Amino acid sequence: MMEADYIIVGAGSAGCAMAYRLAEAGKSVLVIEHGGTDAGPFIQMPGALSYPMNMKRYDWGYMTEPEPHLGNRRLVCPRGKVIGGSSSINGMVYVRGHAHDFDHWRDQGAAGWGYADVLPYFKRMENWHDGGHGGDSGWRGTEGPLHVSRGKRDNPLVRAFVEAGVQAGYPETQDYNGHQQEGFGAFEMTVWRGQRWSAANAYLRPALRRGNCDLIRGLVSRVVIEEGRAVGVEMIRKGQLEVVRANREVILAASSINSPKLLMLSGVGPGAHLAEHGIGVIADRPDVGRNLQDHLELYIQMAASQPVSLYKYWNLMGKGWVGLQWLLSRTGPGASNQFESCGFIRSRAGVDYPDIQFHFLPIAVRYDGKAAAEGHGFQAHVGPMRSESRGAVTLRSADPGDDPVIRFNYMSAESDWVDFRQCIRLTREIFAQEAFAPYIRHEIQPGAAVQSDDELDDFIRAHAESAYHPCGTCRMGRADDPRAVVDPEGRVIGVERLRVADSSIFPRITNGNLNAPSIMVGEKIADHVLGRAPMPPENSEPWLHPDWQHAQR
C-alpha cells in the first residue's frame, strides 16, 4: 500500500505550491492528479491559450445547469484536468487582488488573512520582472519560483487603451499589483522567456526532483475518514480501487468544483443532501458547496479602420508562422498571452476601491478561438468584480465519476444588472476617446443601436460569459461559525487531519483573476501545515482615490 506524510489531491495552482513547500521542508509528499501531461505547444505557448481550455484532454468539461437569469443558457466551466491544473489552461493573467479584498476576508472571520498577512506570501512566491516599465519594487518579490513578466506592448492598440483611459480622466498605474491597483496600465502574466510559467513549471517539477515528492495519476473517489480523522484517500487507478494512506494529513486542492464534491462524497457537507444520496454523514457542514461565486464578463468589440490588429495572423499561414517562430526561438506573437494592457476602475462615487476590471485584447475574438466576422478589430473584456449573486455545487449522485451539479445563479441580484449596464457605458466612453480615433471603424457588439437599459439587458442576457473564476465553495471562517467549512488554517471543521487549500476557501471573490491568490493560498497554508509561525505582516498602505466618496474617477 502506498503511503506518504501528506497526500495532496490535485496538481493545480495551490496543490503544486504546497507540494513544493512541504517537500522543501523534508516531508514525504504524494500528489494525486487525474489529468495527464502538460507537454506540448498547445499548453506551453502563451499565444495558444484558446486551445487547451477547449480540449477534453486537458479540461474536466464541466457545464453549468441552465442559468435562469441568462435565458437558460448553459455556460462552460473549464477546470484544468492536467499537470498544473487550471494554471496550465488559463489566460496566464497575474492579478493579486486588491488589498481590501483580503482585509474583508479577515473581517469575515478569516483571522490572519488580512492584506498585511498575505503580502509577504505574494512576495515569497514571485520572481517579478518589470521589463523596464517601472513598478513598485518594494511591494514585489524577486526570488520566488513563479516568474511574472510584462508583454512587449508594441502593438499600437495596446498603448492606445491606456492613453484612452487617462484621457477619460482615470489615473495611470505603474503597477496594479503594487501600491495602486486603480487605473490603467501594463498587464502582467505568468510567462517566462516566452513560455507559460504554470504552477507545474514553477513548483511541481522542482518538487519532484527532490526525491521525497511523487506524482501519481488517479481519480480520487473519497477521503478515508476513520473515527473522525482523515487517514488516506480512495482512488481509482487503471480501473482498480486503491487506498493511499496519509501518515499526517490529507489536503484537498482539487478546485472550487471538485474539492466540495470530494468532501460531500466523503460524508462532509449538508446532512440532508448527503442522506438523499445514501452517504453517511461524518460532519454536517451546511455550506459545503455553497457560496459559489464567479466573475462574468462581456466582450465590447470594435471594428478597426486600419490593419493593426492580430487578425493578420488569423489564418492557416499566419498561425503556422506564429507557431514556427515560437518553436524556434520562443519569440513573436506566440510568446505573449496578448493581454498586455488592463484597467481597474470604480463604477461610481462612494465605491472605495475598483469594482470593474478591463482586459484589453488587440483582436476581436471569442475565448473559444472564433474571430469576429468583421476582420480587423479589438475588444475589452469588462465585468463587475463583486457580484452579490451566489450559487452552489451539489452532488448529482454518489458516483464519483458523475459530474457535480453546478449552479452559479448568475445575475440573480438586481445590482448585477445595474453594474453591467454601467460597465458597457463606461467602456464605450473609453473607446470614444481621442487615442482610439485613428483606429475605430464602428462598434461590432453590442452595436451602436443598443442603448436603452432594456436593450443592454437583452445583450447581457444573451452574451455574458464566465471569466472562469469560480471560488468560495469551502468558505474559510472562524471555527465556531456554523457557515464556515474550514478554519483560518484550512482545516476542515469537524474532521481531523483534513485540509482544503485552493480557491474554494475564499470567503469572497478577489478583484481580478484568481490564479495568483490561489497560489498564495497554497503558499500560506503550507506554513500552517508545517506548524510554522506565519511570515511577519507587512503594513503597506494601498492607494485609495483621495475623494472616492464623491468622485467616480
Catalytic residues: 469
Report the SS3 class of residue 214: strand
Alpha carbons 204 and 200: distance in angstroms, whole number? 5
Alpha carbons 359 and 186: distance in angstroms, whole number? 10
497 neighbors 77 (Cβ within 8 angstroms): no
Closest C-alpha among 226, 259, 260, 222 to residue 243: 222
Q: Which residues are within 8 A (CB) of 193 and not within 5 positions of it... i.e. 6 or more apart?
A: 330
Phi, psi of 199 (to 5 degrees): -65, -25
Report the SS3 class of residue 222: strand
Is 520 marked within a binding site?
no
371 neighbors 364 (Cβ within 8 angstroms): yes
Q: At what angle do helices 515-529 and 13-24 cross, to 10 degrees?
A: 30
Closest C-alpha among 529, 410, 521 to residue 105: 521
CA dist 49 → 169, 207, 279, 360, 369 (Å):
33, 26, 39, 15, 9
332 Ramachandran zone, left/alpha/beta (phi>0; psi -120 to 50): left
> DSSP for 480-509?
T-TT-SB-TTSBBTTSBTEEE-SGGG-SS-
Beta strand 146-150 with 126-128: parallel, antiparallel or unpaired?
parallel
Alpha carbons 192 and 94: distance in angstroms, whole number? 13
Alpha carbons 361 and 337: distance in angstroms, whole number? 9
Is 1 marked within a binding site?
no
What is the 8-class DSSP label of residue 334? G
Is 90 marked within a binding site?
yes
469 neighbors 295 (Cβ within 8 angstroms): yes
238 neighbors 214 (Cβ within 8 angstroms): no
Place of cell 481580478: 512
Alpha carbons 444 and 436: distance in angstroms, whole number? 15
CB atoms within 10 A of CB 468: 21
Is 93 marked within a binding site?
yes
Q: Which residues are within 8 A (CB) of 426 and not within 5 positions of it... i.e. 6 or more apart?
A: 345, 347, 356, 382
Is 233 marked within a binding site?
no
Length in residues, the chain: 553
- Rg of the chain (C-alpha set): 22
What residues form DSSP beta bridges with 399? none
Is 382 marked within a binding site?
no
What residues form DSSP beta bridges with 107? none
Residues making up the annotated binding site for FAD are 82, 90-93, 220
Provide the annotated binding site: 82, 90-93, 220
